[in-house]
Amino acid sequence: MSNQQWDKSGFETKAIHAGYEPDEMTGAVIPPIYATSTYKQDGVGGMRGGYEYSRSANPTRTALEGALASVESGERGFAFASGLAAEDTLVRALCRPGDHVVLPNDAYGGTYRLFDKVEKAWGLDHTPAVLSDVEAVRAAVQPGRTKLVWVETPTNPMLNIADIEALAAVAHEAGALLVVDNTFASPYLQQPLTLGADVVVHSTTKYVGGHSDVIGGALVVRDLDLADKIAFHQNSIGAVPGPFDCFLTHRGLKTLAVRMERHCDNAEKIVEFLAGHPAVEEVIYPGLSTHPGHEVAKRQMKRFGGIISFRVKAGEQAALDVCAKAEVFTLGESLGGVESLIEHPGRMTHASVAGTDLEVSADLIRLSVGIETVEDLIADLDRALS
């Protein structure tokens, strides 16, 4: 079946079936890992199914790209070797030296470094803005010069929420495109293209892959002219994933819905536990009615995700001790896998922003809540906090 035939299906059906139909010759239910760089042609130019060379296209990648497009309610999907490779390809497809982009003031560190250290040297200017404040974004946009407004929601590690629909209107008024990095929410919880975004970006390394065993990235769009530009740059730049990486990512995507439900169930119970714990100063989670972005998050997300940040009362050393004492929660960077992770943003993921406006408080801990038995996770935190 073509992708369009899954358009009316539910999310889970799309995640499992879109992008691939059982192999004509063998009936293989799962896309084979096509470990081939080139393809036999039936006479000069006689390509079978359009396959010529695996930088341009590979059937294992085609299957993943079709599935990604479908689950994001897009028309075309593109897979990359990493989230940052996807971002760089997008920027070079859509921007030219002298152009300008608006970035979240609390953008993912690697994204900020890409714009500030790589794209800037190439002549692309950027302005950071507080994306939860629509008027601040309007003020940062330079009509005619700004080509992209780049959104993350929720953000890392403070889980700030941006209103995708409102920011799409601001970007479009100025003649810019709205890009949403949907890594933290995943396509199961949030569908930016249906809210007016032009491009969805993923680090599929996180929830989409979901098993902490592969690095990857993706772009999804609805507009076919935009798709053609991205396709040209994907092939011209060549930062594509190999077939085994595509297989792993696609295998992860099929169970995204059930994983996300469990990530959210576990996170909600842990939020409740932390909020009642005497050693905890503050719990940051968009599902809490006290969170400043709660109303917007409720409107644009199905549930509130698996990432929780919290502050401990006794300060930095106590936060470091909790990280060291946790056993079921593994001390490590990254997020979105089936296993729970704990980290100290001030010393780990956000050490490079110390001394800037984005410095995070030293008593802050970030959890990526996995899908283990929640009682074990709570007991682990209880032990680590005592």
Residue in 6, 34, 51, 108 binding ligand PLP, rule: CB under 6 A: 108
Quick check: 343 binds ligand PLP (CB under 6 A)? no
Residue (200 or 280) nearer to ligand PLP, CB: 200
Q: Which of 55, 113, 251, 269 is an active site residue? A: 55
Which residues does residue 343 pair with via DSSP β-bridges, in sequence order? 366
Half-sphere exposure of 224 (CA within 13 A, CB side): 0
Helix, strand, coil % over all residues of the chain, rounded to 5? 40, 15, 45
Residue in 141, 200, 215, 301 binding ligand PLP, rule: CB under 6 A: 215
Tokens of 297: 């998050």
Quick check: 205 binds ligand PLP (CB under 6 A)? yes
Q: Rounded to the nearest 5°, which phi and psi values hold at 311?
A: -110, 140
Half-sphere exposure of 116 (CA within 13 A, CB side): 13
Residue (72 or 181) nearer to ligand PLP, CB: 181
Q: Supply angle C-alpha 60, 337, 59, rounded to 5.
A: 5
CB of 242 to ligand PLP, least distance (A): 15
Residue 55 designated active-site: yes
Residue 108 designated active-site: yes
Quick check: 111 binds ligand PLP (CB under 6 A)? yes
- DSSP helix/strand/coil, 105: coil
Residue 113 designated active-site: no
Residue 205's alpha-carbon distances to 89, 144, 313, 338, 359, in angstroms, are: 17, 34, 33, 12, 25
DSSP structure class, residue 280: E
Residue in 14, 61, 100, 206 binding ligand PLP, rule: CB under 6 A: 206
CB of 221 to ligand PLP, least distance (A): 17
Count, residues near ligand PLP per rule CB under 6 A: 16
Half-sphere exposure of 188 (CA within 13 A, CB side): 28
CB of 107 to ligand PLP, least distance (A): 8
Residues forming the active site: 55, 108, 181, 206
Which residues in this chain contact ligand PLP in the complex, by CB under 6 A?
82-84, 108, 110-111, 152, 156, 181, 183-184, 203, 205-206, 215, 217
